[in-house]
Amino acid sequence: MLSETVPAPGWEVVALTALFAFAVSLTSFTTPPSGRPSLLRNANVLATLFHEGGHAAVTLLTGGDVSRVAITGAGDGFTAWKHKSGLGIVLASAAGYAMPPLAGLGAAVLLHQGRVAAVLVLTLVALVFILFFARDLLTFAVLIVVGAVVYCALRYAPGWLRTAIAYTEAWLLLTSEIDGVRILVVNRMNHGFRDRTDDAAALARRTALPSPLWIGGWFLLNGWALWHAFPLLWP
């Protein structure tokens, strides 16, 4: 199944899935971070899963321990982890905002090769990995719902719908963390730099590099991934 290939979709499918993903991002931009998210913005939960999964995966890969991954909202979550290595702490902290665009770029590479099923199978693997660290009902529910959509697409959906879902996933991963980075900027503009508890603030305390440098790096990474993914996804 991982090596199965299908023909590239028409430009209509690619355009519609891209427009949906950008609409989700636009909705996020027009929704205050503390406000009630719209139904469309809830699609951002996919990036939240990959964000927190990125923290967990890099923590384990660098020798740390993960005790919990929690999803608290469409764009909110946290990972409880600990690490003895300073470098491991930096890598694990930086991995959250980096993981969704890199995963989206990886999906674009596979889709360019026609490997739609591989994208969906690997997504299921990622969700199962996160499931091992879920400890609350909401996180379980989110994982089950997203996993059910991906599994049904893989098992039962006609080819055109399976392809559309895989392309939608790739576009969402590529674009959704742009809003996450924007929120980091907005929070600092509205409330200052003191008493911040987000990833950028944690990295600034650990490395002595200011948080705007980390925020700018994530923004550039998002742009780089999108720039390279676009010609791979567009037919």
- What is the structure's pLDDT at 23? 86
Number of Cβ atoms within 10 Å of the Cβ of 58? 23
Phi, psi of 6, rounded to the nearest 5 degrees:
-130, 160
- What is the structure's pLDDT at 145? 95
Handedness of CA 152, 7, 127, 125 (dihedral sign): positive
Q: What is the Cα 154 distance to its own chain's centre? A: 20
Q: How many angstroms separate the CA atoms of 47 and 127, rounded?
A: 12
Up-side HSE of residue 121: CA atoms within 13 Å toward CB? 10
- Domain extents in the chain: 11-233
Phi, psi of 146, rounded to the nearest 5 degrees:
-65, -45
pTM value is 0.91
What string of pLDDT tens digits covers the 235 residues of the chain?
667 888 889 999 999 999 999 888 877 666 555 555 566 777 789 999 999 999 999 999 999 999 999 999 877 899 999 998 889 999 999 999 999 999 999 999 999 999 999 999 999 999 999 999 999 999 999 999 999 999 999 999 999 999 999 999 999 999 988 888 888 888 788 777 776 778 898 899 899 899 999 999 999 999 999 999 999 999 8
Q: How many angstroms separate the CA atoms of 103 and 195, rounded?
A: 31
- What is the structure's pLDDT at 185? 87
Q: Structure tokens of 159?
A: 């080819």
- What is the structure's pLDDT at 38? 65
- What is the structure's pLDDT at 76? 85
Bin 92: left if φ > 0, else alpha if -120 < ψ < 50, else beta: alpha
